[in-house]
Amino acid sequence: MTEAIRQPDIGGPAQPMLIVRDLQRHFVIRGQTRRRKDVVRAVDGVTFEVAKGETLGVVGESGCGKSTTARLLMHLTPPDRGEIILDGEKVGDPRGVSVRDLRRSVQMVFQDSFASLNPRLTICDSVAFGLRVNGQPATTARLNADAMLRMVGLTPETFSDRYPHELSGGQRQRVNIARALAMSPRVLILDEAVSALDKSVEAQVLNLLLELKERLTLTYLFISHDLAVVRYVSDRVVVMYLGKIVEVGPVGAIYDRPHHPYTRALLASRLSMNPKQRISAPPLTGDPPNPIDPPSGCRFRTRCPIAEAVCALAEPRLARVDAAHDVACHACDAGSGHTLARLTGMEGA
Amino acid sequence: MTDQTLSLPLTERPAAIRPSTSYWSGVRRRLARDPVTMICAAILLVILAAVIFAPLLFPLDPYKTSMIRRLKPPGTPGFLLGTDELGRDMLARLIHGGRLSLFMGFAPVLVATCIGATLGIIAGYAGGAVNMGIMRIMDVFYAFPSVLLAVAISGALGPGIINGLFALTLVFIPPITRVAESVTTQIRAQDFVDAARATGASATRIVTGHVLSNVAGPILVYAAGLISVSIIIASGLSFLGLGVSPPTPEWGLMLSAMRQAIYVAPVNAVLPGAMIFIVSICFNMMSDGVRSAMDVRA
Amino acid sequence: MTHENAPLPVESAAPLVSVENLSVTFRSPDKTVTVVNDVSFTLREGEALCLLGESGSGKTVTMRSLMRLLPPTAHYTGRIRLRGIDVLALKAGQLSGIRGSLVSMIFQEPMTALDPVFTIGQQIAETVRRHDGVSHAAARTRALDLLELVQIPSARRRLDAYPFELSGGLRQRAMIALALSCRPRILLADEPTTALDATVQIQVLLLLRSLQRELGMSTIFVTHDLGVACEVADRVAIMYAGRFVEHGAVDDVLTHAAHPYTEGLLHSTVHAERQGGRLEPIAGSPPDLAALPPGCSFEPRCVFARAACRAGMPPLSERGAGQLARCIRGSSIHEASAPVYDAEASL
C-alpha cells in the first residue's frame, strides 16, 4: 500500500534528492554571567547535496551542529538563512514545494525512542496519527499502521495495542521507524537513531534500516557520533566541527585518506578493539570549544597540531582535493599561504 | 505490495500474551493499593451522597427555628447533631449547607480550570510573545494573596453567591494557567511533538491529539487540590459576610454565627468547621494520592 | 605523585576485592526481581576488571553493591570483602569509613555527580579535610595537586571554577580528582566515558589507565562498550540477565569467546573496518528479569540452543587458563563445529 501514495521522482535520477545551500542558524541565548546576549552559532553556512538513493553520513562531536542541521532540513527549527532544494524544487518558494510537503517527503527518527512516542497513545495510534492528519479515515489509517508495524518486524497482533512503556528500546525504535515510513517519505533522517540502543539490538535495527532502504528506495541522512556505524551504512560522509563542514567525500576516501586534521584525529580516537594494540597517546587534547564563542578563522585551530598564523586570520574554504572529496583546511588549499599547503597540493596532483 | 515481513530473522517473537496495560490502568492499580487515598475518596463520596440525596429522602428543614430548643447537645432525641443558636436542626443545616459549600468549592474551580487550562496550553504551546503576554497578565493577579484577592473582588462587587463564585473563579485562573503552561512547555519539548509536526499536523491537531492527553492529568490533579482552598475561601467570604447571607445554611456562615456559642455548646459550634476541615483535607490527600499514582516511576 | 600513597600493608595472598555468590534482589509491592544473581569474582592489587553487558544486565548494580550504594529496597545475599572487610556486615555508620578512602566511585554524568553550588576546589578540599583532618590551606594544596594529577590544564584557575563552567571532559577529570582525593585502593567507574565525545573519551580512558598504573589502584569498570574494555581492562566479565556468563583475561575472551552471547556481541558490534553487508545480530531482546526462562537465560536468543539448555542454568565452567563460561557447550564456538557439539554437550 505504500506504493500507492509514493511520491513521483520529479527531477530524474541525476537530480540530487536534497541540495542544501548556505544553511545557517544562530541561537540567541542569555549570557551566563555578563549582561549580554550570547549567540550560539549552531549551524553556520552549511552546504551539501544528497544524491537519490544514497546514504549520507554526518559525523561530529557534540555541539558540531549535526542535529540542528537535521531539524533545519525539516523546518522543525526555521533556518535564519539558506535554501533547501528538494528534488529540484525550492522549499518555501511559491513555485517550489511548501514546508508541509517537505515534511511529508522528509521524515525523521530521533535518538530517544521513549521521548519520541506519546506515552498516552497505543503504538498503532502513534503510527496512524500522521496518516489521519493527512486525510485517511481512522480505520484505514489503523490498518495501514498495522501493515507498517509488520514491515518493521513487529507483529501487529502482539504490539498494536501496546503502550510505549511496555516495549524494549529496540522495539520502540522500530515503532518510530514505522511511523516515519508510514508517511511514505523519500528521505529519512536518522538522528542518532541507533545510538541509545544496546549493541545487539543496534545491529538488528541497522539491518532493518538497510533492508528498508533497498526495498522502499529511500535516501538516508544518517547522523551519528559513532564512526564505525557511519562507515558501515554510508556512501558519502560529511564531517562537521562547530557548525561548519570540515570535510566531505566518499566514505572510502574519508576513512582511508582523511585530509582534515580534525577528521584524522577523530578517526585516530576510535577505540582499538584489540587489547594487544591499545592506543598509547590521545590524538587530540582538550574538548571541543564552546559554539558560543568560536575561534576566529579556522574553528579547529585551537586544537589543531598543524595550525599556523594564517589559520587565525582567514576562514578556510571547502576546496576539492580529490574526486568528490572536499576539505576546509588551509593546509590542503594551495592558495592559502599555509606552509604545508603546497605539499598537499602536490600530493593531489 | 503484500504486507509480508522482510527477510529479517523475525526478531521480536511475540512474548507471552498479556493484557496490554495502558497508563491509566496502571494509575488505577496504584491508586487501589493506596489505602489513604481510598479512605479519603470513600469519605468524600459519603459526604457527597449525603448532601445530594439526604434532603430528597428525609424531611429535613434547615430553617425551622425554635427558641426553646436552642443549642441542644448532639444526641438530643430528634436532633442527632443537636441544634444551633436559633434552635435549628444542625444535621439538616450541615447537609443543606454542604450543598452550597461543596458547590462553592467545585464550581469556581471547574470554570477556572476550563479557562486557565485553555490559556495555559495556548501559552505553553505557542511560546514566544503569546506566552509572554498571557503569563505576565497572570503574574499581575498572582502577585496578590488569593484570600485577599477574593475578599477585594467580592467586596467590590458586594455580597451574594454569584459575586462570590465570580471572585473565586478569578482567583483560581492564574495558578491553573501557570501549571498548564509549565506542563505544556515540558510536553512541547518532547520529540513526539516534533514527530507529529513532521507529519504536517496543524497546531490544533497536535494539541488535541498529543498535548491534551499528557497535560490533562497534572492539571486536574492540581485543580482537585484547589477545591479545598475554594471551600475554605468561600466559607471565609461567608464568615466575613461577603458570600452567602443568612439564613441560608452554609458551613462558613454557620461557623461565623456559632462562634459566640463556643463556650456554651462547643461541640455544636465546632461542627461546621470540622466539616470544612474533613472535606478539604480529604480533597488534599486525594489529590496527593492521585499525583503520586500518576508518577510512572512509583 | 605516587609517593603520597604509601603502600598499605596487605598480605599478597588475599585478594583486594573478593565477591562470593552475591545476589541482589529488589522488592516492590508488585514483584520481586533478582537483578544480580550468584556473582563471584576476585580482584588483586593493581588489576583492572571490566563488567561488560547491556542495559539491565546487572553490571551497575553489581558494582554499586561493593559500596552498598543501592536504594533500601535492595536485599543482598552472599559476601563482599574489600581488603578483608565484610562490606555487607558493616553498619550504616561504618560504611562512610570505607567509602572514599578504601573504595571510591566515578559516575557517567559528572554534572549530576558534582555539587553545582560549590567550586571544584571547595568540593575536593572539603572531602580531604573531612577524611584527613588537615588545615584549609593544606587541603587546598592537595586539591591543586589532584587537579594536576588528572591533567587539568591551568589547574590553579580551575580550582575556583564551578562545575557548569567546565567542559564535559574537564568535569569528568574533576570528578576523577574528587574520587581520588582520599587515596582509594579501589576505584569504581560506572560508564565513565559514555557521555563524552570520541576525542575526549580516549583522553579520559588513557588518563584512567595511567592513574591506575601510577597509583597502583584496583579498578572496576562498568561499560557496554567492547572498545572501552579493550583499552583499559586486564580481565573482563560478561554479564547477561544478572549473571556472569563469561569471565576471563580480556585477550582470551575477545579473541576466543566461549559463550554464544559474547560471540553474538562481538558479531553485532560494528567494527571499524566494516562497510555494508549484513550484520549478524543476536535475535530478540534481553529477557524480563521478573520472568526469566527456566533454564539458561540466554537460551531463547541462542542459535545453539537445544533441549538440555532448558533443563537448568549451566554452571560457570573452566575453558582453559582462567577463562570461565556459563554454557553447556564445552569449548569455544570456533572449535565446536557440529559433530563435536553433541559429544561436548554431555559435560
Nearest Cα residue to C79 out of C93, C69, C68:
C68
Q: What is the pLDDT of residues C276-304, one digit of tens each?
A: 667 788 888 788 888 888 889 998 888 88
CATH number assigned to the domain comprising residue A154: 3.40.50.300
Q: Is residue B75 situated within a structural domain?
A: no
- Residue A334 in contact with partner chain C when CB distance is under 8 A: no
Answer yes or no: is B17 within a domain: no
CA-closest candidate to residue C166, choices C174, C178, C177: C174
Mean pLDDT of A71-91: 90
Residues 55-94 of A with CB under 8 A from B: 71, 74, 76
Residue C82 covered by a domain: no
Q: B210 and A117: CB-CB below 8 Å?
A: no
- The answer as to whether A248 is a domain residue is no
- The answer to whether position C17 is within a domain reads no
Asked, for residue C18, whether it belongs to a domain, the answer is no
Same domain, A151 and A197: yes
Q: In this structure, is residue C304 part of a structural domain?
A: yes
Contact between B93 and B254 (Cβ < 8 Å): yes
- At C239 the pLDDT is 94
Mean pLDDT of B112-132: 92
* Residue B6 located in a structural domain: no
Those residues whose C-beta lies under 8 Å from the C-beta of residue B39, and which sit 6 or more positions away, are: none
What does the pLDDT read at residue A70?
A: 92
Shortest distance between the Cα of C13 and any Cα of chain A, in A, equals 27
In a domain, B65, yes or no: no
Q: How many CA atoms lie within 13 A of B131 on its CB side?
A: 12
A217 vs C: CB within 8 A: no
Query: Does A4 have pLDDT greater than 50?
Result: no
Flag whether pLDDT at B273 surpasses 50.
Answer: yes
Q: Quick check: A32 pLDDT over 60?
A: no
Q: Please say which residue of C183, C202, C232 terminates a domain.
A: C183
pLDDT tens for A83-116 read 999 988 888 888 888 888 888 899 999 988 889 9
Shared-domain flag, residues A199 and A336? no
Q: Sheet containing A81-86: which strands, arranged edge to edge?
A: A37-50, A18-30, A81-86, A89-90
Q: Which residues of A117-145 are buried (b: 16+ CB within 10 A; e: fewer)?
A: bbbbbbbbbbbbbbbbbbebeeeebbbbb
CB-based burial, B21-58: b 16+ in 10 Å, e otherwise: ebbeebbeebbeebeebeebbebbeebeeebeebbeee
Judgement on whether residues A268 and A218 belong to the same structural domain of the protein: no
Q: Are residues A67 and A170 in the same domain?
A: yes
Of C55, C199, C278, the CB nearest to A269: C199
Q: Closest residue of A to C277, CA-based?
A: A232
* Domains in chain B, number: 1
Least confident of B20-29, B92-101, C111-120: B20-29
Inter-chain CB proximity B11 and C300 less than 8 Å: no
Q: What is the pLDDT of residue B22?
A: 64
Range of the domain at C324: 295-347
Residue C5 has pLDDT above 80, yes or no: no
Please indicate if any CB of chain B lies within 8 Å of the CB of A161.
Answer: yes
Entry field: residues in chain A: 349
pLDDT score of A47:
93
Q: How far apart are CA B109 and CA B125, in angstroms?
A: 23
Residue A166 placed within a domain: yes
Q: Residue B158: how many CA atoms within 13 Å on its side-chain side?
A: 0
- Among C73, C280, C285, the strongest candidate for a mutation testing the B interface, having the largest count of B CBs within 10 A, is C285
Question: Among A340-344, B117-121, B248-252, C166-170, which range has the highest average pLDDT?
Answer: B117-121
* Within a domain: A102: yes
- pLDDT tens figures, B32-42: 888 888 999 99
Per-residue pLDDT tens digits for C152-210 = 888 888 899 998 888 888 889 999 999 998 889 999 999 888 888 888 889 999 999 99
Q: What mean pLDDT is predicted for residues A32-47?
A: 78
pTM (whole model) above 0.90: no
Question: Which pLDDT belongs to residue B100?
Answer: 84
Query: At C11, is the pLDDT very low, low, confident or very high (cuts 50, 70, 90)?
Result: very low
Among candidates A1, A108, A151 on the partner chain, residue whose Cβ is nearest the Cβ of B198: A108
pLDDT at site A31: 56
**pLDDT (tens digit per residue) in C204-248:** 999 999 999 888 899 999 998 888 998 999 999 999 999 999 999
Q: Kindly list the residues from chain A whose CB atom is less than 8 angstroms away from the CB atom of residue B195.
A: 108, 110, 116, 176, 179-180
| ipTM score of complex | 0.82
Q: What domain range includes position A192? A: 18-240
Cell triple for A162: 501496546
Whether C198 and A228 have beta carbons less than 8 Å apart is answered as no
Whole-angstrom Cα distance, residue B263 to residue A83? 83
Are A154 and A204 members of one domain?
A: yes
Which residues from A are below 8 Å from C197, CB to CB?
A: 61-62, 225, 287-288
Range of the domain at B262: 29-55+85-293
Ranges B57-61, C137-141, C270-274: which has the least confidence = C270-274
Does residue A100 sit within a domain?
yes
Residue B41 lies in a domain: yes
Q: Are residues A127 and A165 in the same domain?
A: yes
Mutate to test the interface with A, among C230, C232, C303 (most CBs of A within 10 A): C230
Residue A24, chain B, CB below 8 Å: the answer is: no
Q: Which of B191, B193, B202 to mutate to test the interface with A (most CBs of A within 10 A)?
A: B191
Q: Give the CATH number of the domain where residue B109 resides.
A: 1.10.3720.10
Region B90-105: what's the mean pLDDT? 83
Q: What angle in degrees, to the nearest 10, is found between the helix axes of C136-149 and C168-180?
A: 130
